[in-house]
Structure 1
């Protein structure tokens, strides 16, 4: 019986080794994958009040009085009137590229814009004003990789910060996960 089990194990190992492809092949010339979309400049002049937008990648929330602020990951902040909780209504959107965090004190909103730190006066909700801006305040904040595994165009920091990924045909991509 022991010889039978040993023979079966040996046979299984041999069969499994024949299915291994140990050759290293480079990236294909043309393949479907993700390319980064860059924002070249992040600063106080890139903050805008816009009409309401749909929530796609909702993040953290903050409630002040009858207003709920919800982060839209890497895009900005939804402004939602919750004075009637049964009928909450989006009333606007602050476009803040790279935003992942929000908190408030009085009429000041504290947010990140990628690695930068912003303090925004929102006393006039439709005309937010950046009152403090610290570039590269947060070290090491990185954007997430593409939404799914496979080939993608490598990030080039000299082009700016990645604000999203677009699926398309890539030519000889060097990055993969």
Structure 2
């Protein structure tokens, strides 16, 4: 493989040297989508035996099971009946999957443009019971960050799904202010008292509230009526903001985290959430959680997320129409976060998991840091803390100003 790339490089160098107007040309990385027909894509859903996780994604907890996403591939089911020794038991292959939510043994998952529903009442006999086609106008194209340009080629949104990318180097005439041409962006991109709903991390884009499930993409929110759990109905789609990445629900409101701010929607009319306000911050990747009158969000600077510092922000949302910055704390490389009682758990990437004691809702004191681990997202449960980072799923017990390791489960 290295010989192949060396040969190509030599070819480019020769071509470059033979041109009399070299200053007018440049080499660019061009991304071309790998396509699959929607028919073949939709026939790819399968429940199989456990397999190695290729790229760990988001985490979700329901009853005694932990669901770990395999980015764009599906969901790994882990039996957590014994937290000291969790066991992988199933893989639900769902191409194009990013998020899930579960209510009363029905699992909802996105599959690129579609919503897929599974009956998991018998975990040994998981079955797909419904598929709503083309309900999401936005799915993550995962355009390679190395790409200077995109050639959509023969991509037909009506018939095809993008399942990967091929990068090639092309010599082209220079164009001022070159930007990736995502020409399709506007159209394509982006009940009972005994009811049981699962719990996701702060990086989730799906939320279930009573008889509705809310899903956000880059700029659009899809609202599903799930009163009949087996047969959800797309009730509404609406503009939600811009560059939306995460969603959290609390006390009749939805809080959407975007790269540019936090949007607040009320659920007075659950089928049509109403915009209340927006809290604007500098550009940065932004998960958010809410407890009472305060929202806590992390901003990760650098790389594709922005060029400024990384921080934890505390937002006073007692007046939902006028959220106000209450406090800011410096971090290194933050991702997800969660809270339990007076403790705030912040995943600071390669800097580890940081434990902040909330002396007041806005006055935080760093009381501990779990170093030498990579922390991406957490789910604080009643009796334990679930965390994912790198290729490991961690479980901890709560201790005073600390947590104790119950188990660590290698994902790949």
Question: Aligned runs of 1:1-177 on 2, under 5 Å?
Answer: 23=24, 25=25, 35-41=32-38, 42-43=41-42, 45-146=43-144, 148-150=146-148, 154=152, 156-158=154-156, 160-165=160-165
Distance in 2 between residues matched to 1:107 and 1:161, nearest whole Å:
29
- Number of matched pairs: 150
Higher helix fraction: Structure 1 or Structure 2? Answer: 1
The alignment partner of 2:84 has SS state of helix
- Find the structure with the greater CA-based Rg: 1
Task: Indicate how the Cα distance of structure 1 residues 172 and 160 shifts in structure 2: closer, same or farther if over 3 A, else same.
Answer: farther
Aligned position for 1:13? none
Displacement, 1:150? 4.9
Task: Indicate how the Cα distance of structure 1 residues 145 and 54 shifts in structure 2: closer, same or farther if over 3 A, else same.
Answer: same
Distance in 2 between residues matched to 1:126 and 1:162, nearest whole Å:
31
Write the deviation string for residues 89-139 of structure 1: whole angstroms up to 9, x where unpaired: 211211100111101011100011001111111223344322221111111
Distance in 1 between residues matched to 2:69 and 2:31, nearest whole Å:
24
| Kept after mapping to 2: 8 A contact 1:77/1:95 | yes
The alignment partner of 1:112 has SS state of strand
Aligned position for 1:4? none
For CA contacts below 8 A with separation 6 or more, give which structure has more relative contact order.
1
Any stretches of 5+ residues in structure 2 without a counterpart? Answer: 1-21, 173-178, 181-412
Task: Indicate how the Cα distance of structure 1 residues 148 and 82 shifts in structure 2: closer, same or farther if over 3 A, else same.
Answer: farther
Any stretches of 5+ residues in structure 1 without a counterpart? Answer: 1-20
RMSD between aligned residues = 3.2
The alignment partner of 1:86 has SS state of coil
Higher strand fraction: Structure 1 or Structure 2? Answer: 2
Query: TM-score normalized by structure 2?
Result: 0.32
Query: TM-score normalized by structure 1?
Result: 0.68
